[in-house]
Each structure stands twice: as C-alpha cells, then as structure tokens.
Amino acid sequence: MRKTNNLPIGVFDSGVGGLTVLQALRQHLPNESFLYLGDTARLPYGTKSANTVINYSLQACQQLVNFGIKLLVVACNTASAHALPRLQQTFPDIPVIGVIEPGARAAVQASASGHIAVIATEATIHHQAYEKAILTFNPKASVIGKSCPLFVALAEEGWIEGDIPERTAQHYLTPLFENARSSDCLVLGCTHFPAMLPAIRKALATDISIVDSASTTAETVAQVLEKYNLLCDADRDAHLTFLATDNKERFVRVAKNLLEYDIPEASIELIDFKA
C-alpha cells in the first residue's frame, strides 16, 4: 500500500492550458509526482453553462481520484469559478485547490490603489469569480473584468509575439487602463494567458503589476502540502503522467506552443469517461 504522501498530485484542466499551472507546480515542487488530466474532447469550458462545467468537472476529477492522488488542483479558471465548492464537497478526503483564490489574494497584495483588472474567459468574467474573491480580501477594492477569447486561440497556435498578438492585446487592454483611476494590477485569469505575456506586457505601462495565478497557486499548494504533512519522501523519484480525453496529437502540439516543452505522444493515455 502506497503512503499517502507519496501519491501524485492531480491536476485537472479543460484542455492543455493548465500545463502552465503544472509547469509552475513542478518549479515549486520538483520532487513531487503529478497526474495531469486534460478534458480535450470537451473543451473549451469557457463557453459552457455553469451546470455543464460542474458536471464535466466532477466526471474528470473522479477519474483522477480513482487513479489515486493526495491533492487535487483545479487548474481551469472556469472550473474553479463554477465547480470548486462542489468538488470540495464531493472529495472531502483530499485538499482541493482552485486557481482563483490564490490569484485574488496575490492581486490584493500587489495593488497599491485597490483598482484591479482581470482578464479571463467569458464564463469566468460572467460569474464575477475573481471580483468576489478579491472583495473577500479587500472589500474596498474596485475590480473590472474583460473576456479575451482570442488570447486562447493565439496561445494554442503559438502566436505569442508579433503584430497580431500585440494588436490584439492593445485592443483588449487599452480600455482597461485609459483613465486616471485605472487599475494598477492585471490578473491573468486564464491558464493560457501567461503564454501571451510578451504581447500583454507591451500593451501596458511598465508600472502595472501582472499577477499570474499559476505561480500563486503553486505557492498555495506547497503550503497546503506542508500543513497536512503531505510532502513526498525526499528519496522518491518524481514522475509525470498525462491523461487526455481526445486527440493526443493536438495535445502535444499545443503543449509545445504554450511551454516550448516536448511531451512524447506515447506518454499520453487516452481515457473515455463513458467506458
């Protein structure tokens, strides 16, 4: 029987964007093993209804729990916005951590004025998930959100620098930062958006802080593992396992575009929720 602390950390995303969270987790926790599930057959979640997102998330996360994990990271912002409380209720025996609360906490710490902008998917913005979370840490904060769907497509195609991504970033971001009471902090509220950082940074003034929820989530996971004595044994070899629900070839291509990281297609296991 495996010791609980030597089980892998489960990471769930609607597709491949959550690999930016996985990358941050591996940087913060290099000795830990990870089991990543991308629901590539049913992406994107950002345009789905709340009930659909909850049902998909429950189904995917049950698969990870069945494999055996010690902690679950909901790397998808949309799933974190709609499904996190239900997932925490459904899996009470393991910590379940989303990406929104860590990002909101970091934004409050980074913003001197309390004026914070959030860019995310349509579903996350519509749900006001970051606004609600930010206001729990700073009730006086002012939060403005904007959906930036083209960033997802550009990131997945690897178009992260050049005229097209830069003009897209200017189109999305200029209205958020054009008046005297503009935000002094921008939250990247989608796992694809860190890949767009070169274009995003060019569209912003240099004094605007950018919060990447991937790195802040990784810090939270490290704290939770230590709190519950779940850190792996020091002499254990870390391993990385990928699960997908469709199209391994696209998984590999998008992963390379997002992270410049080669994932061998043979290392990805296809799973079928209907099986």
| Residue 76 bears catalytic tag | yes
Q: Please check the confidence at residue 3 and state whether its pLDDT lies above 80.
A: no
Instruction: Single out the residue of 31, 2, 18, 98 nearest to residue 240, CA to CA.
Output: 31
Active-site entry in 76, 148, 185, 232: 76
What string of DSSP letters covers the chain? ---GGGSPEEEEESSSTTHHHHHHHHHH-TT--EEEEE-TTS---TTS-HHHHHHHHHHHHHHHHHH--SEEEE--HHHHHHHHHHHHHH-TTS-EEESHHHHHHHHHHH-SSSEEEEEE-HHHHHHTHHHHHHHHH-TT-EEEEEE-HHHHHHHHHT--SSHHHHHHHHHHHGGGG-STT--SEEEEESTTGGGGHHHHHHHS-TT-EEEEHHHHHHHHHHHHHHHTT-PPPTTPPP-EEEEESS-HHHHHHHHHHHHS----GGGEEE--TT-
- pLDDT (0 to 100) of residue 227: 95
Amino acid identity for residue 240 in this structure: L
Mean pLDDT over all residues of the chain? 91
Cβ atoms of 73 and 217 within 8 Å: the answer is yes
* DSSP assignment of 211-270: EEHHHHHHHHHHHHHHHTT-PPPTTPPP-EEEEESS-HHHHHHHHHHHHS----GGGEEE
Q: How far apart are CA 5 and CA 42, in angstroms?
A: 32
User: What are the pLDDT digits (tens) for 96-107?
Assistant: 999 999 999 999
Give residue-wise pLDDT tens across range 56-106.
999 999 999 999 999 999 999 999 999 999 999 999 999 999 999 999 999
Residue range 18-52, pLDDT digits in tens: 999 999 999 999 999 999 999 999 988 888 889 99
Q: Which domains does the chain have, with CATH numbers?
A: 4-98+216-270 (3.40.50.1860), 101-213 (3.40.50.1860)
Tokens of 58: 């429950």
- At 274 the pLDDT is 65
Identify the active-site residue in 148, 185, 190, 232: 190
pLDDT above 90 covers a percentage of the chain that reads 69
Mean of pLDDT values over 196-220 = 93
Q: Check if 185 is active-site.
A: no
Q: What is the pLDDT of residues 239-252, one digit of tens each?
A: 999 999 998 988 99
pTM of the model: 0.92
96-140: pLDDT as tens digits: 999 999 999 999 999 999 999 999 988 889 889 999 999 999 999
- Give per-residue burial for 49-58: e unless 16+ CB within 10 Å, then b: eeeebbebbe
* Sign, Cα dihedral of 77, 82, 84, 87: negative
